[in-house]
Structure 1
Amino acid sequence: MEKFQTSDIPKSPRIQKLVDALYEHMPVIESARAKLITESYKETEGEPIITRRAKAFAHILHNIPIIIRDNELIVGSSTIAPRGCQTFPEFSYEWLEAELDTVATRTADPFEIAEETKAELKEADKYWKGKTTSELATSYMAPEAIKAIEHNIFTPGNYFYNGVGHVTVKYWEVLETGFEGIMEKAQKELDGCSVGDGNYARKSHFLEAVILSCKAVIDYAGRYAKLAQEMAAQTSDPVRKQELFVIAENCSRVPAKGAQNFYEACQSFWFVQQLLQMESSGHSISPGRFDQYMYPYYKKDMEAGTITREFAQELMDCIWVKLNDLNKCRDAASAEGFAGYSLFQNLIAGGQNKEGEDVTNDLSVMCIQASMHVHLPAPSLSVRVWNGSPHEFLIKAAELTRTGIGLPAYYNDEVIIPALQNRGLSLEDAREYNIIGCVEPQKAGKTEGWHDAAFFNMCRPLELVFSNGMDKGEMVGIPTGDVTQMKTFDEFFDAYKKQMEYCISLLVNADNAIDVAHAERCPLPFLSCMIDDCLKEGKSVQEGGAVYNFTGPQGFGIANMADGLFAIRKLVYEDKKVSMKELKEALAWNYDKGLDAQSAGDMTEMIMKAMQKAGRNVDASTAEGLLKTFMGMKPGEQKTQRFKEIHDMIDEVPKFGNDIPEVDYFAREVAYTYSKPLQKYNNPRGGKFQAGLYPVSANVPLGGQTGATPDGRYAHTPVADGVSPSAGKDVKGPTAAATSVSRLDHFIVSNGTLFNQKFHPSALSGREGLEKFVALIRGYFDQKGMHMQFNVVDRQTLLDAQEHPEKYKHLVVRVAGYSALFTTLSRSLQDDIIRRTEQGF
């Protein structure tokens, strides 16, 4: 293990200036990329798609406006406006056209957009009708899968509307050889091809596309070198003049060639990170083990005395600011689920090398220091923890947690490494894992993981059990029988499993349809040149060129399902305090709240459709009367009082998150209803499906589409987040909650789990508070938990921030697998964070 320092490094005044400039205005949508890609596609009709993609990428990089902002040491911006975004019509465009006039005023992640930009986008969009990945994906989906999406059983919208991302490329290879070296490798493969080879047509065009893409990136850096020279000639400030000369020199060398020093390595890294975003609209393009591949350049400069630790820190801080400059616009519904303008760029520090030795170093600590300095949501900093992790490194990480920024997240090598081996990774590759996006493990430079492939709401199949597969008058699930006639809990639980398995099969169908669409219409040659074994195989990652191929949709609602099913087993089947008929009515009428407007409307609509099929047309008023008759409801308080009694009884049933083995192991069994069926499926790239148990922040908006559940949750309120206990139900303290969550089978959920906890700031005060905090993490990980993340903020601060957002512009909180500025979140998401149990030691 390398020796490392934990002493604080002073923050450069430059960094605060960069941060302030970044957040001075609302983000802006720009049209340059959309116009340029449309121009290129019109000129390349009839050519192979991989060639068209490379030519379009080159056309964009040769012509998109560029800028070097004041005080920058690391350059390269996708937009002229800070935190601006480009658009990507090749994936989808109709949603944005429909929202052009509302995107600036929506509640989650608003963007300014000029009238001229709207007109330019509308003009470009005319070309893309019938040509997008989303349209092709829809044509490939089974009708049943489309219906399930429409009824909010699951949503694959992440990749339906956007690029995939969710990858870590071989940054280290670019640092070592530059893109000239990668072009040389591609040319060698091309020279080895014969026109008579069976795969010649595909492989030769792919390799030529790689070479063209790499050349375009080199040209793009050259544009920045020229701009820096011009700006240096025009400035009278001798300090800035010299900085611009160095920037010009750096950009003239990297990323074309291998980096000679730490500064060049930083600039080379940034071009890769930025331009991966420019090629596609995928998010969660994650820097991975930055402290490992950057360390040789830092160490060499430090030993040679050509850099100071302070300047190296300033360069890293500049990169941290730039990571917050990247942005994307999502549709309004997705923006609610990903609120906070996050791109989920996960950067991880610490952990083991492929030989199983701890490799924590100076840069590992400086990554933590950078997040302290910029105090911004990106990168989504993580740390790897195992038995060999240096204690002082974890204390340093805990100091960052104590700031309340929600960083870092903590990951357990002792669980993740064997979980990845279980999916076919070699021991060496598994030991070198990093985290993608929120919480998803993978081996960098070898994996196309398709993490976040869909959000699956585990509560909705339970609703289908109660309705015998019906939803809003349509058969969405499968008939599993009348719940009031089910004699045993096992019969009821089996019905739930059948609904789950059917809905999971539809999710797989939808994901695979989108997967095929990306391979056919949007292969990515630039990304693929930095993933093994694409060059050797002669195909992009979208076509299966990676060594490891997975699809990782995530289920959520574990705590709701575990608590609800446990309550049914106890109250209905064991103690017989509640009949299934009573429970069904209580759920339909939202317990003591009365039939809420959405449920009433849905059920009224169902009756109107049923009557129409029977040849009778009835109006809404008549249908509502029939509904009340059907439900057996009479005026008065008797039944509503009974519903309240049922809700009170459910509240008294033991809940997941309180170190009650009977409940916790039942939750483990419930988690299996999602994780086990999923893993039997294959994807079009020759890989397997693997489960994740986390919602990002979709548990809030998708909870809004879910009726009351038998754990006592009211209709249209948030569903439990990740594998965390339901908000407010873990009442026995943080260690009890951690013990409960550790009893889930984290080894089988190789696409990641998410465990949130919230602490009052006093819990981490002083060295004693930090020691207890680290002990909590160690204890949870010793029990084989996979992941932990924390909010350290008091409830009153959050409430005040809701009422006076102008006073809390820099308040960063942990949302789900990412952090965000609290005041940028939707009100419903803010409320969800406030509701979480506030722990203390």
Structure 2
Amino acid sequence: MIEKGFSKPTDRVMRLKNEILNAKPYVESERAVLVTEAYKETEGLPAILRRAKAAEKIFNNLPVTIRNDELIVGAITKNPRSTEICPEFSYDWVEKEFDTMATRLADPFLIPKETAKELHDAFLYWPGKTTSDLASSYMSQEAKDCIASGVFTVGNYFYGGVGHVCVDYGKVLKIGFRGIITEVVQAMEKMDRMDPDYIKKQQFYNAVIIAYTAAINFAHRYAAKALELAQNEANPTRKAELLQIAQNCARVPENGATTFYEACQSFWFVQCLLQIESSGHSISPGRFDQYMYPFLCADKSIDKGFAQELVDCIWIKLNDVNKTRDEVSAQAFAGYAVFQNLCVGGQTEGGLDATNEISYMCMEATAHVRLPAPSFSIRVWQGTPDDFLHRACEVVRLGLGVPAMYNDEVIVPALQNRGVTLHDARNYGIVGCVEPQCIHKTEGWHDAAFFNVAKVLEITLNNGKAGGKQLGPVTGEFTSFRNMDDLYAAFQKQMAYFVHYLVEADNCVDLAHGERCPLPFVSALVDDCIGRGKSLQEGGAIYNFTGPQAFGVADTGDSVYAIQKNVFEDKKITLAEMKEALDANFGLPVGGSAPSAGGDFTEEQVFAAVRKVLSSNGSMDVSALKGEVYRTLSGQAAPAAGGSSTKYDAIRRLLDASPAFGNDIDDVDMVARECALIYCREVEKYTNPRGGQFQAGIYPVSANVLFGKDVAALPDGRLAKAPLADGVSPRPGQDVKGPTAAANSVAKLDHFIASNGTLYNQKFLPSALAGDAGLQNFASLVRSYFDHKGMHVQFNVIDRQTLLDAQLEPEKHNDLVVRVAGYSAQFVVLAKEVQDDIISRTEQTL
């Protein structure tokens, strides 16, 4: 195959991109002030009508901002890449961070004093009135104790609005907001006055009409602003552009689009208004190529270069959206992540290949813009054209961490297993990080909680205790376990206990959103809220799920196998000796380190040791290789940061040398599989208040770093407070047999049951993918992994030195974008501990 290369972006696109790169994120106060005014004016009205009136107030009064050079308009904030506050969900954490948000570890935002004063005055209204207040009042003390101890957190929807949704963009492009209002009026005319829910349905329909009437006015305000700017514009080219913008905004999204340009503008208004209505993140555009392609085909007069520039401009606008979180959550979502997942490729509802011209234009836009958003994804199936996959691999080689790749052959049956019809399952999109859902028919509540599987193992090894406190049930002292069955039985019992309280906490938050913050604008764009006459938050969607995600699976699997191998099989250590070493953190201060291959020695030292061992011994299994490498390293130099040797060194060396997940070793991989299944099976036993099922996912965002701080030393040799493995990926530095072996291990997990999504990161040296042969081998690796039934994979293509250089001189690497977890981010804005976690990932070569 001959590489096609990518065209150059226009000067306009580069100017718009630089404005995003150079922007300083601010917190703004306009939305908070407006929503507070609306709530004060609507005391006593039903919740759905209060929300409609709030949307009306905001859509009619939020400042109108058209930035220089824009062809697609509509902004949430006055300043680029800034954020508004939504106090109806939570507010007190914002007030606590007025003086620290600008300097905090992750995702800092500037808050001018005048803004802080306006927010403070608005916040005075909200004590006891937020969704978080109500959710907290519903939770038991046991659930709160679990959260405080780092077993899980439900902070995403506890602090913010519900997101993780993909709406019917195509419907708006076809019939416009006016058509949706007509649909609602027709539904009202068909209502049965004898229906006991008649009043509630009527209120919902009235709320939708209020919200959509204001949404039409929102676009008209942009039309008026564009006309105003055009009247004062001296440059005739820009004047003509502003006049066209005014014409577009006067027509869409009120009416259906008639040109590709109108379709692009209409799409963006929907995306913008969804963000304004609620603070929920992961508002995902879904299958962009499917609903946009008919408008490109029908527009016979548009220049293809201009059409590409419009798509590029949408990519820029997606990077203008930003969100602030509390300090702890900001670390879990490090990198100003908003998770607007846009997906192309795959198959149609009828099972035919869905690739089209827009699919390739989206790849071109990604290459042109080279910014973190959108979270760009492709769907791959047996009918995916080789040219499409190869083009995607070329985009991956750019080093942006996108596109992420998803396997239809796993996801479609996984969704069917959850009750989704075949046609709907084939029409899935990706929302948020890696979560599949049937587009515009689902309220998935993905990312509903982070669940720390490794913490549950730690608690199991301490007879239900965490930090000396009896947190879980008494399941027996670790040192009294007679065999692996005893360990698994205790782990299963602890898992059941903590998943129960995870579900309780999630359902408390779910109930609070349904009662206090039903959202009429988003609801009308998800089937079948209009048909059912109820909001999305009250169960109006066809498919309703709740999806908490686990992390620490590889740590747990490796730890359980280390116990099995070293205690019960080889009898090299007793449970008592292991427990003593774990309690002592292997003799090191908590947060300290000790020598371990790949940890405290340089990459050059590790590679040199590997070469030396292999040259002397030839082919070796991974356990023997790790042990010999460790001994070689330990004998040649003192540890970089570890201090003196302790009596636990030999124990840690033994544990660290145990075979690890990620090397295609069935005995090890099946243990990790079972540990993940114990979590997934427990989760799927439960239902939510919207009448849907809980479904498990295994992905971390960047919580594997944050919540690793809550986990003590583990039997795999990991020290207390160290980061955990991300998603379904092997532990950094442990997958030493190459990318195919690592992928084979990951594919052995049951991705079908983890239907809320799994996340697999691989990192390659750029030289490994160079040239035509490198590209072909790379594409073959993806095909092989998917043939083995892996669900998802994404790649960083970058060398370690570049990342280290960016840490030392961030001002020279402002445009360096890397894959963090289910999203990409500017490397230099990440907290150092997250940067270090990315640097530590194994560098693979083909």
Task: Please indicate the TM-score interval, normalised by the length of the shorter structure.
Answer: over 0.9
Deviation larger for 188-197 or 667-676: 188-197
Is 1:784 the equivalent of 2:789? Answer: yes
1:303-358 deviation line (CA, Å, top 9, x unaligned): x2x11111100000000000000011101111111111110000011010011000
The structure 2 residue matched to 1:795, chosen from 800, 803, 806, is 800
Among 210, 213, 221, the alignment partner of 1:212 is 210
Match of 2:539 among 531, 541, 544: 544
1:517 matches 2:517: no
Contact 1:590 1:596 survives alignment (8 Å): no
- Structure 1 residue 23: Cα displacement: 2.5
Q: Tell me, yes or no, if the aligned pair for 1:190 and 1:204 is still in contact at 8 Å.
A: yes
Matched, 1:156 2:154: yes
Q: How do residues 607-756 of structure 1 correspond to structure 2 at under 5 angstroms?
A: 641-756=646-761
Q: Helix, strand or coil for the counterpart of 2:750?
A: coil
Return the alpha-carbon distance in structure 1 between the equivalents of residues 4 and 519 of structure 2: 41
Q: Which amino acid aligns with 1:43?
A: E
Cα displacement string for residues 687-724 of structure 1 (whole angstroms, at most 9, x for unaligned residues): 00000011111000100121111111111010000000
Match of 1:230 among 228, 231, 244: 228
- Per-residue CA deviations over 1:202-226 (Å, capped at 9, x if unaligned) read 1000000001111111000000000
Q: Could you tell me whether the CA contact under 8 Å between 1:10 and 1:310 is conserved in 2?
A: no
2: CA distance between counterparts of 1:433 and 1:194?
Answer: 34
Per the alignment, residue 616 of structure 2 pairs with: none
Among residues 343, 367, 370, which one is paired with 1:372 in the alignment? 367
Distance, in Å, in 1 between the alignment partners of 2:149 and 2:590 is 20
What's the counterpart of residue 191 of structure 1? Answer: 189
Matched AA of 1:589: A
1:317 aligns with 2:312: yes
Shift of 1:550: 0.2
Matched pairs, number: 795
Alignment of 1:305-704 (within 5 A): 306-594=301-589, 641-704=646-709
* C-alpha separation in 1, matches of 2:391 and 2:769: 12
Structure 2 letter corresponding to 1:699: N
Amino acid at match of 1:416: I
- Secondary structure (helix, strand or coil) at the match of 1:704 reads helix
Mapping 1:5-20, distance limit 5 Å: 8-20=6-18
**1:178·1:258 contact (CA, 8 Å) conserved in 2?**
yes
- Aligned partner of 2:838 in structure 1 is 833
Q: Which runs of 5+ in 1 are unaligned?
A: 599-636
Letter in structure 1 aligned against 2:791: M
Aligned AA (2:574): S
Mapped partners of 1:416, 1:67: distance in 2: 40
Q: Which amino acid aligns with 2:810?
A: P
- The question of whether the paired residues in 2 share the 8 Å contact of 1:6 and 1:393 is answered with no
Structure 1 residue 9: Cα displacement? 4.1
Please state how far the C-alpha of 1:597 moved relative to its aligned partner: 9.2
- Residue 24 of structure 1 and its aligned partner are, at CA, apart by 2.1
How far 1:194 sits from its partner (Å)? Answer: 4.0
Letter in 2 for 1:676: R
Q: Post-superposition shift, 1:596?
A: 6.0
Deviates more, 1:21-30 or 1:221-230: 21-30
Match of 2:22, SS state, is coil
Gaps of 5+ in 2: 594-641
The residue type paired with residue 502 of structure 1 is Y
Instruction: Go from structure 1 to structure 2 and tell me whether the alpha carbon gap of 1:594 and 1:116 turns closer, same or farther (over 3 Å shift).
Output: closer
Opposite residue 30 of structure 1, the aligned amino acid is E
- Quote the residue 1:106 is aligned against: 104
Give the counterpart letter for 1:238 in structure 2.
P
Cα distance in 2 for residues equivalent to 1:18 and 1:264: 20
Q: 1:197: how far off?
A: 2.2
Match of 2:766 among 761, 780, 784: 761
SS in 1 for 2:653: helix
Letter aligned with residue 765 of structure 2: H
Shift of residue 73, structure 1, vs aligned partner: 0.2
Q: Describe the superposition over 1:443-498 as per-residue Cα deviations: whole angstroms up to 9, x where unpaired.
A: 11100000000000001111212221122343211111111111112101210111
Q: Which residue of 2 aligns with 1:611?
A: none
Cα distance, 1:640 vs structure 2? 7.2
For residue 127 of structure 1, give the secondary structure of its aligned residue in structure 2: coil
Q: Counterpart of 1:568 in structure 2: which amino acid?
A: I
Alpha-carbon distance, 1:642 to partner? 3.6
2: CA distance, partners of 1:24 / 1:347? 24
TM-score (norm 1): 0.93
Q: Structure 1 residue runs of 4+, over 3 Å off?
A: 5-10, 594-598, 639-642
Matched-pair identity in %:
57
Return the offset for 1:241.
0.5
Give the CA deviation at 1:578: 1.3
CA contact (8 A) 1:647 1:712 kept: yes
**Partner deviation per Cα, 1:21-61 (whole Å, 9 max, x = no partner):** 12223101000000000001001000011000000101011
Alignment of 1:262-281 (within 5 A): 262-281=260-279
CA contact 1:6–1:365 (8 Å) conserved in 2: no
- Paired with 1:101 and 1:285, the residues of 2 have a C-alpha distance of 30
Rounded to whole Å, the distance in 2 between the matches of 1:469 and 1:453 is 25
CA distance in structure 1 between the partners assigned to 2:492 and 2:648 by the alignment: 27
The alpha-carbon distance between structure 1 residues 703 and 7, as it changes in their structure 2 partners (threshold 3 A), is closer
Tell me the equivalent position of 2:637. Answer: none
The answer to whether the 8 A contact 2:699-2:757 is kept is yes
Q: CA deviation at 1:751?
A: 0.4
Distance 1:26 1:647 in 2: 45
Which aligned pairs between 1:812-823 and structure 2 lie closer than 5 A?
812-823=817-828
Alignment correspondent of 2:75: 77
Supply the distance in 1 between the matched residues of 2:428 and 2:459 (Cα, whole angstroms): 39
The one of 209, 219, 222 equivalent to 1:221 is: 219
Partner AA of 2:580 in structure 1: E
- Distance (Å, rounded) in 1 between the aligned partners of 2:645 and 2:576: 14
- What is the RMSD computed on CA atoms of the aligned residues? 1.4
> What TM-score comes out, normalization by structure 2 length?
0.93
CA contact (8 A) 1:9 1:310 kept: no
Alpha-carbon distance in structure 2 between the residues aligned to 1:531 and 1:690: 20
Letter in 2 for 1:583: M
